[in-house]
Chains A and B, each alone.
Chain A
Amino acid sequence: MSGTLPWVTVVLAASTVIAALSLLSIKMAHRIILNSRGVRTAHYVAAVAEMIGRRYIPTDTPKGWRTDPVFHDILIDYRRLVEGEDGRFIDRMVEEFGIVDALIPRIRRIFPQTSRLQAVSTLVELADHSAAPFLRSLLDDRNDYVQTHAAHGLARIHDLTAVPLILDLSTRVRPWEAARLTDSLIAFGTDAVPLINEWVADEMASPRPSMEAVTQSARVLGFIGDISAEPLLIRLLSSPNLEWRVAAASALGRVGTDEARTALLTALADNAWEVRARAVRALATLADETVGPAVVALLSDTEWWVRQNAAETLGEIPGGVAHLLEALDSPDKFAADSALNQLAEMRKLPPGRLPVLVRERPHEVAIIIPEPVETRPSS
């Protein structure tokens, strides 16, 4: 043992010194990179501003710009910032600089991952329709970030043939990735809705439909907001699958018309509280005279969230506040509580109806104190 100790010490000492020096060098390198990036950014920002202003791309721009990720980022920033003529000019710039052609080989190289991912995310923001086949091929990539980015890119260039491909892909990945993929469908907008409807119908008819993919599709249909999705969503609302009903209930709040109202009213009696909670919230935008009493009934629901949502909905529909005020007198303590909560939130509690401090035991306070005071209490 006494023989090895000195060696151990030496090895340790050497490693420590090397570690210390490496750390120093990394910090210095980091600093240099940041500085350089800062300088280049300022330079590019000014240069691009000039070009946009003058609608002129000088022929003598350095070759290095074409492959510089900082330059790409600046172009992306500007692309997001402006529209119309200015936006089209930036597209022209991208074309003239041949940026897409510079990115594709970098993406084809498998290593290093970071540079590859960086190139993909840039391509997605700057590509035009000619990149569609390449982007579609990226949907089959091994890396799920690449897949998701590709989907968003296809949405940006509005390549509708990719919609079923993206949906198919979402059946093969994990739930989180499926959600990220289907997010891209939102950017396709209304044009995608018939395609999604068709795909979901086929999927539901298949022997083993992907639960996650259908759920996410329903969610996305809600966000796109086109009413042609309504029949499918109503159908999902009565499916035996819980997740599908939940997603459909949420989505119908955004997409629904009078047709949906009946289905949602039925859903208020669903066995699962998650469905009831969302259905009652969805009715806020679809209310007519029949809705009020049905929602009031839910103020006595066993689940807190459902009661909460019911009260919130009542706060928003015509005639709902009257129902809430009535509920304050309800023999059901939970209904009264929910109504109280909501009216307090909306500052619509009538003065005579304010709750009184009820002290049941020294450390328990059941409901809070009286009058809202405009001045603060003296300490």
Chain B
Amino acid sequence: MARILVADDAATVRMLVSRHLRAAGHEVIEAEDGAAAYEAGMKGDIDLALLDQLMPAMLGTEVIAKWREAGVAFPVLVLTAVDDDDTVVRSFELGAADYVRKPFNMSELTARVNGRLPAK
């Protein structure tokens, strides 16, 4: 039972992922763009975040960078269709815990999320 932030500008993805996570027993906060995601993360009491890379207002990598600068430390999974190696490497450099490419398997995603959650 954790608080998870799901950020993606596509409503489809947000709703699908949120629904699955809620069904798995977590509480989900949704964000529509990078700026909203950043602010939600800064507010505190988030346990894990699922970020899309290509979002308006702020890219996923930028959000992670800003969070790390501010000392925010919860695990972040980058979830995206972007396939270039630069973004993957950059995400890991910035401290993303994992990188999931679209299309993905929903149950696998849920399992990975559960695996990354800090033990309470």
Could you tell me which A residues sit within 8 Å of B by CB distance?
Answer: 41-42, 45-46, 49-50, 52-53, 74, 77-78, 80-87
Q: B119 within 8 Å of A by Cβ?
A: no
By a CB distance below 8 angstroms, the chain B residues around A50 are 19
Residues in chain B near residue A41, CB distance under 8 A: 11
Q: How many residues of B contact A (CB 8 A)?
A: 15
Against A, the Cβ 8 Å flags (1 = close, 0 = not) of B10-53 are 11110110011001000000000000000000000000000000
Return the contact of B23 from the options A53, A77, A81 (Cβ within 8 A). Answer: A53
A74 to B15, CA, bound (A): 12
Which among A53, A77, A84 is the interface contact of B10 at CB below 8 angstroms? A77
B residues contacting A by CB (< 8 A) are 10-13, 15-16, 19-20, 23, 102-107
B19 pairs with A49, CB closer than 8 A: yes
Q: If A53-B23, A81-B16 touch, does A42 touch B11 (CB 8 Å cutoff)?
A: yes
Between A and B, 30 residue pairs with Cβ closer than 8 Å are A41-B11, A45-B11, A45-B12, A46-B15, A46-B19, A49-B15, A49-B16, A49-B19, A52-B106, A53-B19, A53-B20, A53-B23, A74-B12, A77-B10, A77-B12, A78-B16, A80-B102, A80-B103, A81-B13, A81-B16, A81-B102, A81-B103, A82-B103, A82-B106, A83-B104, A83-B105, A84-B105, A86-B105, A86-B106, A87-B103
Looking at chain B's contact residues, is the secondary structure mostly helix, strand, loop, or mixed?
helix
- In the complex with contacts A50-B19, A53-B19, A81-B105 CB distance below 8 A: no
User: In the assembled complex, which residues on chain B have CB atoms less than 8 Å from the CB atom of A85?
Assistant: 105, 107
**Bound complex: CA of A50 vs CA of B12, how far in Å?**
12
Q: How far is the CB of A236 from chain B (nearest CB, A)?
A: 29
Q: Point out the residue from A45, A80, A82, A84 that lies within 8 Å of B15, measured CB to CB.
A: A45
Chain B nearest Cβ from A81, distance in angstroms: 6
B102 to chain A, nearest CB (A): 6
How far, in Å, is A266 (CB) from chain B's closest CB? Answer: 32
Q: From residue B105, how far is it (CB to closest CB) to chain A in Å?
A: 5
Contacts of A53 in B (CB 8 A): 19-20, 23
List of A residues within 8 angstroms of B105 by Cβ: 82-86
Q: Tell me the smallest distance from the CB of B19 to a CB of chain A, in Å.
A: 4
Is A81 a contact of B12 with CB atoms below 8 Å? yes
Q: Which partner residue on chain B sits nearest A73 by CB separation?
A: B12
Residue from B10, B11, B13, B16 within 8 A of A52 (CB atoms): B16
B residues within 8 A CB of A49?
Answer: 15-16, 19
Residue of A nearest to B102 (CB): A81
Report the bound CA distance from A84 to B105 in whole Å.
Answer: 6
Taking the closest CB of chain A, its distance from the CB of B27, in whole angstroms, is 17
With A81-B16, A85-B105 known, 9 other A-B pairs at CB within 8 A are A74-B12, A78-B12, A80-B103, A81-B102, A81-B103, A82-B103, A83-B105, A86-B105, A87-B103
